[in-house]
Amino acid sequence: MSERWARFVLSTYRWVGAAAFPIVGAYVAFRASKGKEERGRHGERYGNASVARPSGPLIWVHAASVGETSAVTPLVEAIIDTGIHVVLTTGTVTSAKMVQERLGDRVIHQYVPLDLKPAVDRFLTHWQPDLAVICESEIWPMTILELGTRRVPQVLVNGRLSDRSFASWHRRASIAEALFENLAHVVAQSEVDGERFRALGARPVTVSGNLKVDTAVPPVNNAELASLQRMIGTRKIWAAISTHQGEEAVVAQVHHMLKARHRDLLTIIVPRHPDRAAQIAAEIEKLGMKVALRSRGDQIEPDTDIYLGDTIGDMGLYLRLTEIAFVGRSLTAQGGQNPLEPAMLKSAILSGRNVQNFRDSYQRLIKNGGAKLVRDKDMLAGAVNYLFNNPAERQIMIDAGLKTVEDMRGSLTRTMTALEPFIQPLVLQARLSNREGGWK
C-alpha cells in the first residue's frame, strides 16, 4: 500500500467516523454501557465532560482497564508531584473504582470517549490537553489523528505489541506508519516491542521495561486476611488466578487428582471475569465438589474444595493465602496474564505455555528459576504436587521471583526521563501562570 493510499484510507476513516456517528456511536455506547460504565456518566463516552477544566497546563493520561491503570498509577503520581493537572481516562467501572481508591481527588477521572470524531472533538475541545500519554497498546486511529491535527504531543508509554497485533499492523504497514508518525515518542516495555514499533514507523522509540514492576504490591485488608487464614487453618492451599473460559474446569480436575494425595487440599480460583462465577461454580459442583463464593460471604468449611475469588480488587488477599500460584489465560486461552504480582507476593509461579503477551517477564522469571511452564493438566498437577512435597524447592522459586522483580525495577524512572522534555516546559508554564495570577 502506498503512502498516498494510506493517507486516503485514514482521511476516509475520519469522514466516515463523523457520518456514521449517530448509528455506530449509539451501538458502541450501548455495548460499552453493559457493565463498563456508571449510570449518569454515559455522556462521557460521547466526549461530554462531567466536570470543569481546571486552569493551567493539563496532561491527559489514558489507561484502558485495571491492569493498565495499576501500571500507570505511579507515573500519574509522579506527574501530579510536578504540579501539573491530570485528567485520567479509563474504559471500565472497575478501573474507575481503582482510580478513586488509589488517586482520589488528586486526578480528574473521565470515561474515555468513543473513537469517533464528534466524541473525540468534544473531549479535546473541553480539556485542551497540553500532552497526551497513552498506556500500553491503546491505538485508537481517530484519537491519534485528532491529537495530531491539534498538534498535541502524544507519547505511548509501557508500549507493547502482541504477536497478533504486530502481524495485523504489519499487513497494513503504510497505515501504521501514517498513524505512528503522530506519536512524539514511544516508550516500549521490551526490546522486542521496541523493534516492532520501529518496524511500523514509530520514531523515536526507547525501552523502559515494564511499569507494572514499579507498582506497589496489591493491598490487603488485614482483618479479612486473618479471618480467612483462621478458616483455612493448616490445610494445603494453592491458587489459580486470572483464569479464563475452560481453565477453571482444568483446575477443578487438578484439585481432584491432587486430593488423593493431599486430603486436606483447598484450591482457590480467581477468574479474570468474576461475572462468570455462577457458571463456574455450577460446572465445578457438577463434578461433585463443594464450592464457596467470596461474593456471597460463604465460609471456608473443612469439606470446602474450591474457594471462588469472584470479587474485584482482592488479588492481594488471595495471593497472600498461598505460596503456589498458577497464572491463567495460558492453557485454554492465549496471551497469558501478568505474573509479576504473584512474584511480588512470594508465590512460586506456574503457567501454561501461551504467554506471548508477557513474554519478557516470563523469560526473565524462567531464566532465574522463579516460574515454570506446564503443558496440560497432568503436568500442572505434577508441578503443584512437587511444590507441596518440596518446600525447599518452593522457597527457591519464591526467592528467584522476588529477585527477578527487583532486577526489573527502574521503568518508572526511565519513563519519566523520556517524558521530561514534554513535561518540563509545562512545569515552567504552570509556575509562570501562578506567578502572574491565572491561565489563559
* DSSP of 55-111: SS-EEEEE--SHHHHHHHHHHHHHHHTTT-EEEEEESSHHHHHHHHHHHGGGSEEEE
On whether the CB atoms of residues 123 and 140 are closer than 8 A, the answer is no
Chain centroid to CA 79: 20
Chain centroid to CA 368: 24
What span, in angstroms and rounded, lies between the C-alpha atoms of 302 and 423?
56
What span, in angstroms and rounded, lies between the C-alpha atoms of 60 and 129?
6
Q: Find where cell 456514521 sits.
A: 20
At 324 the three-state DSSP class reads strand
Amino acid at 25: G
Amino acid at 105: D
At 136 the three-state DSSP class reads coil
* DSSP of 138-158: ---HHHHHHHHHTT--EEEEE
What span, in angstroms and rounded, lies between the C-alpha atoms of 270 and 357?
20
Q: Find where cell 473443612 sits.
A: 302
Per the residue annotation, which of 37, 44, 68, 323 is the catalytic one? 68
Q: Is residue 68 annotated as part of the catalytic site, yes or no?
A: yes
Question: What residues are annotated to the active site?
Answer: 68
